[in-house]
């Protein structure tokens, strides 16, 4: 019972820690969309006749020239109104994406949609005016794949009206939260064609491990950090894209900031203490059981030795008992730890903001920690068997028989 309890407890606490740790990674990458997201305002000037701004942007491919940038994709994010069947309008969120570069950069999970990301992007390729629509809107309006709808997308200079065909269903999408309203995802090229110009948009960047997001933003704005080792100073050298960045965010920076919060460190410290305590109880319980069991069965083992059992046969007898004990502890303890993790960990996803609830928890069983417990159990088995074998070899048969006669 002690082995079952300690192994199930250690598996449960380790799985909580693993799930929370992995969820933080997913949560921040879902919020940002990729490693880094920035608002590219480009360069613009006002036309002489209409006084409306005319924007100019560097090609997305130019971002790949920056140090540490492995991928870049453009995302146009705008509010929109969709015309309903009853003649009313409903506000929504419109995201225009580049279907060629999006899968190389964006964070994606399979449970975001009933279809794969490749199938969704292929549908957008087949229908330039196609849109991916959030399931809540389809269910509320009774629409299905292949139906058409009318959208009006708000921009800096007015509204862009367009017809769209529903080609895919999505439940979640990077950087979008259902509380913001229904979501429509379309081809950014089709949107710009309808608008006849480009507007300030987001650029999502996939960066190499260890790349400083702030250095990347300096380079986008037109500067990069140059450390002069000889002069022991940091200077700014102009060699970037010369693009105006209104704002930016980094998933890695957000993860580091969240991990440094005292309440999170305290929680993980508590889980670590629970895991170590369970492991210590396992060690003490197993050793004490082996010793007390041997002392209690001292007479029985002496009589078996007296009737002709060899030391190796008696060691085999004790080994079979310990193997049975360890295997029951491993199998039942692992099963209970797995079941408790699946049942209760999903209820730990709490928070006061909408972003804290997305994406939903995916329970991560800490199999590496469970394997460590298996190694610990195996080591304890070998240690206990070696100790019992030493005691058997030092056993005096006449002492056991004499003690048996006295008893």
Residues 346-378 pLDDT 10s: 887 766 566 677 787 788 888 887 888 788 777
Q: Looking at mean pLDDT, say which of 25-29, 51-55, 316-320 comes out highest.
A: 25-29
CB contact at 8 A, 136 and 199: no
Q: Which domain holds residue 8?
A: 2-25+261-406
CB contact at 8 A, 141 and 87: no
Calculate Rg over the CA atoms of the chain.
Answer: 32
342, 194: one domain: no
Of the pLDDT bands very low, low, confident and very high (cuts 50, 70, 90), residue 37 is very high
Kindly report whether the global pTM for this prediction surpasses the value 0.85: no
Question: Is residue 294 domain-resident?
Answer: yes
pLDDT score, position 308: 59
The structural domain count of the chain equals 2
Question: Is residue 31 domain-resident?
Answer: no
Question: Is residue 231 domain-resident?
Answer: no
Question: Is residue 305 domain-resident?
Answer: yes
Reference 184, options 201, 170, 200, 196; nearest CA is 170
15, 42: one domain: no
Does the structure show a pLDDT above 60 at 169?
yes
Lowest mean pLDDT among 68-72, 139-143, 378-382: 378-382
Question: Is residue 243 domain-resident?
Answer: no
Question: Is residue 218 domain-resident?
Answer: no
- Measured distance CA(407)–CA(388) in Å, rounded: 23
Residues 155-158: contacts with CB under 8 Å, at least 24 apart = 155/78, 155/195, 155/199, 156/53, 156/199, 156/200, 157/52, 157/53, 157/197, 157/199
21, 82: one domain: no
198, 265: one domain: no
pLDDT tens column, 40-98: 987 766 656 656 667 788 889 989 988 899 999 999 999 999 988 787 889 999 999 99
10, 94: one domain: no
Looking at 210, 229, 250, which one is the last position of a domain?
A: 210
191, 52: one domain: yes
Q: Which residue has the higher pLDDT, 112 or 282?
A: 112
pLDDT tens column, 287-314: 777 777 766 665 566 656 665 566 677 7
106, 178: one domain: yes
21, 40: one domain: no
12, 52: one domain: no
How long is the chain? Answer: 407
pLDDT score, position 407: 47
Residues 6 or more apart whose Cβ sits within 8 Å of residue 47 = 53, 54
The secondary structure of the chain, three-state, reads CHHHHHHHHHHHHHHHHHHHHHHHHHHHHHHHCCCEEEEEEEEEEECCCCCCEEEECCCHHHHHHCCCEEEEEEEEEEEEEEECCCCCEEEEEEEEECCCCHHHHCCCCHHHCCCCHHHHHHHHHHCCCEEEEEHHHHHHHCCCCCCEEEEEEEECCEEEEEEEEEEEEECCECCECHHHCEEEEEEHHHHHHHHCCCCCEEEEEEECCCCCHHHHHHHHHCEEEEEECCCCEEEEEECCCCCEEEEEEEHHHHHHHHHCCHHHHHHHHHHHHHHHHHHHHHHHHHHHHHHHHHHHCHHHHHHHHHCCCCHHHHHHHHHHHHHHHHHHHHHHHHHHHHHHHHHHHHHHCCCCCHHHHCCCCCCCCCHHHHHHHHHHHHHHHHHHHHHHHHHHHHCCHHHHHHHHHHC
Work out the number of other CB atoms within 10 angstroms of the CB of residue 33. 26
pLDDT score, position 304: 63
pLDDT score, position 404: 46
Of the pLDDT bands very low, low, confident and very high (cuts 50, 70, 90), residue 99 is very high
Looking at 178, 210, 242, which one is the last position of a domain?
A: 210
- Measured distance CA(154)–CA(156) in Å, rounded: 7
Of the pLDDT bands very low, low, confident and very high (cuts 50, 70, 90), residue 32 is very high
pLDDT score, position 346: 84
43, 9: one domain: no
Looking at 210, 241, 276, which one is the last position of a domain?
A: 210
82, 120: one domain: yes
- Measured distance CA(169)–CA(175) in Å, rounded: 17
167, 206: one domain: yes
Does the structure show a pLDDT above 50 at 405?
no
Question: Is residue 233 domain-resident?
Answer: no
Question: Is residue 234 domain-resident?
Answer: no
Q: What is the pLDDT averaged over residues 110-125?
A: 94
Q: What is the pLDDT averaged over residues 116-123?
A: 95
Work out the number of other CB atoms within 10 angstroms of the CB of residue 390. 10
């Amino acid at each position: 019972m002690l082995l079952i309890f300690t192994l199930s407890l250690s598996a449960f606490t380790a799985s909580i820690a693993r799930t929370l740790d992995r969820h933080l990674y997913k949560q921040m990458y879902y919020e940002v969309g990729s490693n880094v997201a920035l608002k590219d305002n480009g360069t613009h000037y006002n036309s002489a006749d209409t006084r409306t701004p005319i924007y100019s942007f560097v090609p997305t491919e130019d971002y790949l020239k920056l140090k540490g940038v492995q991928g870049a994709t453009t995302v146009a994010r705008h509010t929109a109104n969709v015309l309903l069947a009853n003649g009313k309008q409903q506000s929504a969120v419109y995201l225009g994406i580049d279907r060629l570069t999006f899968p190389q950069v964006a964070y994606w999970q399979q449970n975001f949609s009933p279809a794969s990301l490749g199938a969704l992007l292929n549908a957008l390729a087949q229908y330039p005016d196609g849109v991916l629509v959030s399931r809540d809107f389809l269910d509320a309006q009774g629409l299905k794949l292949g139906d058409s709808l009318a959208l009006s997308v708000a921009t800096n200079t007015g509204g862009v009206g367009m017809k769209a065909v529903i080609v895919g269903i999505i439940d979640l999408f990077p950087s979008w939260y259902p509380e913001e309203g229904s979501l429509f995802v379309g081809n950014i090229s089709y949107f710009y064609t309808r608008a006849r110009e480009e507007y300030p948009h987001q650029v999502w960047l996939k960066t190499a491990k260890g790349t400083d997001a702030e250095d990347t933003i300096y380079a986008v704005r037109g500067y990069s950090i140059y450390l002069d080792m000889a002069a022991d100073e940091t200077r700014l050298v102009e060699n970037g894209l010369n693009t105006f960045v209104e704002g930016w965010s980094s998933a890695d920076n957000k993860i580091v900031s969240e991990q440094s919060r005292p309440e999170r460190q305290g929680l993980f410290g508590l889980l670590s203490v629970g895991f170590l305590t369970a492991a210590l109880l396992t060690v003490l319980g197993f050793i004490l059981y082996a010793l007390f069991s041997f002392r209690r069965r001292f007479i029985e083992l002496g009589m078996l030795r007296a009737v002709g059992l060899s030391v190796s046969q008696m060691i085999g007898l004790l080994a079979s008992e310990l193997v049975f004990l360890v295997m029951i502890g491993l199998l039942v303890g692992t099963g209970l730890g797995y079941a408790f993790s699946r049942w209760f960990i999903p209820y730990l996803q709490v928070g006061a903001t909408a972003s804290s609830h997305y994406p939903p928890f995916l329970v991560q069983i800490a199999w590496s920690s469970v394997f460590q417990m298996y190694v610990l159990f195996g080591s304890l088995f070998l240690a206990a068997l070696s100790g019992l074998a030493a005691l058997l070899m030092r056993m005096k048969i006449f002492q056991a028989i004499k003690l048996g006669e006295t008893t």
